[in-house]
């Protein structure tokens, strides 16, 4: 299985944009797609927010008659597939249609069709249930409709694995090309389950966030998290064998090099607490790709450093840039120690100055800063976009610095950009980043222990000496 698989097309229908370009533009501008639910009346519901697709007109992607015979999740899939195929440049007139397949999944299909016809059944009897109810609602009809719309006659599959559906669908499409079952696969996921029964079901499971604040509704890594937000849309990619893509002169966007999948066999809704299942899936994917964790880490860091380099500026230079539009000098590129008559403050960020605080975690960054400053230093969590570094001159007090950070956080930093009020300390000798007072406490305890041991060692000799001396 040496067949290489590449990505040549992408399509998207999302709550923040109905194309890949619109979606990406919205992501870069921090657009929030979460808003009050409009699909139905939420007066009796605890959860009132969701990420709905906006301004979607299926007639822009298919004829009205065809659209009427599809449920929303299928419309999303067809629309995203249309964009993906167009951007890939594939001409189906020149392709063997039996070598072009579809792997598009939906976790639940159409709850709308089920709700609509259950009401008809109860109010008007079984004879009034829609003849196409079953083909309208079953989850594999997204893949089926994509196949029909674009004449794709290869294997047509639907993976149903809840939130992992889209990822598994792409993975299985990758495998199909690897194994020579297809030259091209249209793959991805689609969902449109923001309905009364869908929201009620997840609410009863206590899985949904019930806040009214759209900026605090989806905070999975926050201590105040209390559930997820339902969303809808579709994401589709076109996968091809490298040989096939090169033969037709396709623009290659990316390469899929490995795929791994596991099951925790643990709980119906919760993952294993030790993360072993996810870790093993990653191991399988790396083994499939023929790469090591070390290589992956190195390549990732190198790519990020090249794309968005680490930047270290003086506070004065940053203020000059703000006030006078003077471009600051990136001190991180220097090789000689920095010199300053005063105790300076430095800004550490990335070249884009967006979400730059994370550069602290890049390999060798803290060590190099220590070399440039020639001292240990404090790390003040300014915001998600940068941190402030202060060299330790021996006179600094952590509490004073933290009081300053707290005041700035409370008055100057937007809530969504807050990091912490806790000041960290980098010890060059120990190569550790942590709390200075904790480090000092440990040192004192170690010193006290050594002193006690030294006294105990001397004690017998002192007692013996005392015995031999005559009393007065």
**What is the per-residue pLDDT across 205-243, written as a single tens digit (0 to 9) for each?**
999 999 999 988 998 988 888 899 999 999 999 999 999
In this prediction, residue 367 has a pLDDT band, given cuts at 50, 70 and 90, of very high
CB 385 within 8 A of CB 355: yes
User: Average pLDDT of 245-273?
Assistant: 95
In this prediction, residue 439 has a pLDDT band, given cuts at 50, 70 and 90, of very low
CB 13 within 8 A of CB 188: no
- Report the distance separating Cα 201 and Cα 219, nearest Å: 21
The predicted pLDDT at position 446 comes to 65
**How many domains does the chain fold into?**
2
Is 12 found in the same domain as 137? yes
Joined together, the tokens standing for residue 92 give 């189906």
- Asked if residue 319 is part of any domain, the answer here is yes
Per residue in 81-103, pLDDT tens? 999 999 999 999 999 999 999 99
Question: In Å, how far are 5, 263, 269, 297, 401 from 275, measured between CA atoms?
Answer: 29, 11, 14, 19, 37
Residue 200 has pLDDT above 50, yes or no: yes
Mean of pLDDT over the chain: 91
11-25, 148-162, 173-187, 394-408: lowest mean pLDDT where? 394-408
Is 124 found in the same domain as 247? yes
Residue 136 has pLDDT above 80, yes or no: yes
Residue 314 has pLDDT above 90, yes or no: yes
- Asked if residue 455 is part of any domain, the answer here is no
User: Average pLDDT of 405-431?
Assistant: 92
- Report the distance separating Cα 130 and Cα 193, nearest Å: 20
Is 138 found in the same domain as 49? yes
Strand pairing class (156-157; 100-105): parallel
Question: In Å, how far are 254, 369, 457 from 9, measured between CA atoms?
Answer: 10, 42, 76
- Asked if residue 472 is part of any domain, the answer here is no
Residue 1 has pLDDT above 70, yes or no: no
The residues, ordered by sequence, that sit 6+ positions from 309 with a Cβ below 8 Å of its Cβ are 330, 332, 350, 351
The predicted pLDDT at position 459 comes to 67
Joined together, the tokens standing for residue 468 give 């031999």
Is 78 found in the same domain as 219? yes
- Report the distance separating Cα 164 and Cα 80, nearest Å: 18
Is 317 found in the same domain as 224? no
Is 52 found in the same domain as 176? yes
- Report the distance separating Cα 404 and Cα 438, nearest Å: 20
Place of tokens 């139905």: 40
* DSSP assignment of 295-309: HHHHHHHHHHHHHS-
Place of tokens 């893509």: 245
- Report the distance separating Cα 212 and Cα 353, nearest Å: 30
Place of tokens 């007109």: 57
User: Average pLDDT of 331-339?
Assistant: 91
The predicted pLDDT at position 460 comes to 60
What phi and psi, each to the nearest 5 degrees, are found at residue 14? -140, 165
User: Average pLDDT of 14-23?
Assistant: 98
142-151, 320-329, 374-383: lowest mean pLDDT where? 320-329
- Asked if residue 292 is part of any domain, the answer here is no
Is 317 found in the same domain as 252? no
**Cα three-residue angle 12-17-20, rounded to 5 degrees:** 40
> Could you tell me the CATH number of the domain that includes residue 141?
3.40.47.10
Per residue in 155-171, pLDDT tens? 999 999 999 999 999 99
Residue 458 has pLDDT above 80, yes or no: no
- Report the distance separating Cα 182 and Cα 89, nearest Å: 17
CB 40 within 8 A of CB 200: no
The predicted pLDDT at position 472 comes to 33
Place of tokens 């979606």: 23
Residue 434's closest CA among 442, 443, 425?
425
- Asked if residue 159 is part of any domain, the answer here is yes
Joined together, the tokens standing for residue 118 give 């259950």
Rg of the chain (C-alpha set): 30
Is 339 found in the same domain as 228? no
The residues, ordered by sequence, that sit 6+ positions from 24 with a Cβ below 8 Å of its Cβ are 17
The predicted pLDDT at position 345 comes to 92
Residue 218's closest CA among 420, 42, 34?
34
Q: Is the dihedral of CA 75, 77, 78, 80 positive or negative?
A: positive
Residue 131 has pLDDT above 60, yes or no: yes
Strand pairing class (424-427; 377-383): antiparallel
Is 245 found in the same domain as 326? no
In this prediction, residue 471 has a pLDDT band, given cuts at 50, 70 and 90, of very low
User: Rounded to a whole number, what is the distance in angstroms from the first to the last CA of the chain?
Assistant: 97
24-38, 63-77, 389-403: lowest mean pLDDT where? 389-403
CB 97 within 8 A of CB 258: no
In this prediction, residue 443 has a pLDDT band, given cuts at 50, 70 and 90, of low
Give the predicted TM-score (pTM) of the model: 0.79
Is 318 found in the same domain as 218? no
The predicted pLDDT at position 341 comes to 65
Is 19 found in the same domain as 137? yes
- Asked if residue 425 is part of any domain, the answer here is yes
- Asked if residue 460 is part of any domain, the answer here is no
26-30, 271-275, 456-460: lowest mean pLDDT where? 456-460
Better-scored residue on pLDDT, 470 or 95: 95
The predicted pLDDT at position 435 comes to 86
In this prediction, residue 437 has a pLDDT band, given cuts at 50, 70 and 90, of low
Residue 277 parent element (H or E): helix 276-289
Report the share of the chain in percent with pLDDT over 70: 93
Length of the chain: 472
- Asked if residue 279 is part of any domain, the answer here is no
Is 167 found in the same domain as 62? yes
Residue 469 has pLDDT above 50, yes or no: no
Torsional class of 188: left (φ above 0), alpha (ψ -120 to 50), beta (otherwise): left
Structural domain containing residue 28: 5-256
**Cα three-residue angle 352-357-362, rounded to 5 degrees:** 95
DSSP state of 217: S
């Amino acid at each position: 299985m040496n067949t290489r698989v590449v990505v040549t097309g992408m399509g998207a229908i999302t709550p923040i944009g109905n194309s890949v370009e619109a979606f990406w533009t919205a992501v870069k501008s921090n657009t929030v797609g979460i808003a009050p639910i409009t699909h139905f009346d939420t007066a009796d519901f605890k959860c009132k927010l969701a990420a709905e697709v906006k301004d979607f007109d299926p007639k822009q992607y298919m004829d009205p008659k065809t659209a009427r015979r599809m449920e929303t999740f299928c419309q999303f899939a067809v629309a995203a597939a249309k964009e993906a195929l167009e951007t890939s440049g594939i001409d189906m007139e020149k392709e063997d249609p039996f070598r072009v397949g579809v792997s598009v999944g939906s976790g639940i299909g159409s709850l709308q069709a089920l709700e609509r016809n259950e009401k008809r059944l109860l109010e008007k009897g079984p004879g009034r249930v829609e003849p196409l109810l079953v083909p309208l609602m079953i989850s594999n009809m997204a893949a089926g409709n994509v196949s029909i719309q674009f004449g794709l006659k290869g294997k047509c599959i639907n993976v149903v694995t809840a939130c992992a559906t889209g990822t598994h669908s792409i993975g299985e499409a990758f495998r199909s090309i690897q194994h020579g079952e297809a030259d091209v696969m249209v793959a991805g996921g689609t969902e449109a389950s923001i309905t009364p029964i869908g929201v009620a079901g997840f609410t009863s499971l206590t899985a949904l966030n019930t806040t009214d604040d759209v900026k605090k509704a989806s905070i999975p890594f926050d201590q105040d998290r209390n559930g997820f937000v339902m969303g809808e849309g579709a994401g589709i990619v076109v996968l091809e064998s490298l040989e096939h893509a090169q033969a037709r002169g396709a623009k290659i966007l990316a390469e899929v090099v490995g795929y791994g999948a596991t099951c925790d066999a643990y709980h119906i809704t919760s993952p294993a607490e030790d993360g072993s299942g996810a870790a093993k899936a990653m191991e399988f994917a790396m083994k499939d790709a023929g790469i090591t964790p070390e290589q992956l880490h190195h390549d990732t860091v190198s790519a990020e450093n090249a794309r968005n380099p680490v930047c270290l500026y003086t506070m004065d230079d940053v203020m000059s840039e703000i006030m006078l539009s003077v471009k600051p000098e990136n001190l991180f590129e220097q090789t000689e120690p920095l010199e300053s008559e005063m105790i300076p403050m430095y800004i550490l960020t990335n070249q884009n100055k967006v979400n730059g605080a994370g550069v602290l975690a890049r390999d060798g960054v803290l060590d190099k800063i220590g070399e440039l400053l020639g001292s240990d230093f404090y790390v003040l969590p300014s915001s998600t976009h940068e941190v402030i570094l202060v060299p330790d001159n021996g006179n600094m007090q952590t509490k004073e610095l933290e009081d300053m950070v707290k005041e700035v956080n409370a008055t100057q930093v937007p809530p969504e950009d807050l990091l912490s009020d806790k000041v960290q300390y980098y010890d060059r000798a120990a190569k550790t980043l942590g709390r200075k007072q904790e480090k000092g406490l440990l040192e004192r305890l170690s010193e006290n222990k050594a002193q006690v041991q030294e006294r105990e060692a001397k004690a017998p000799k002192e007692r013996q000496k005392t015995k031999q001396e005559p009393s007065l």
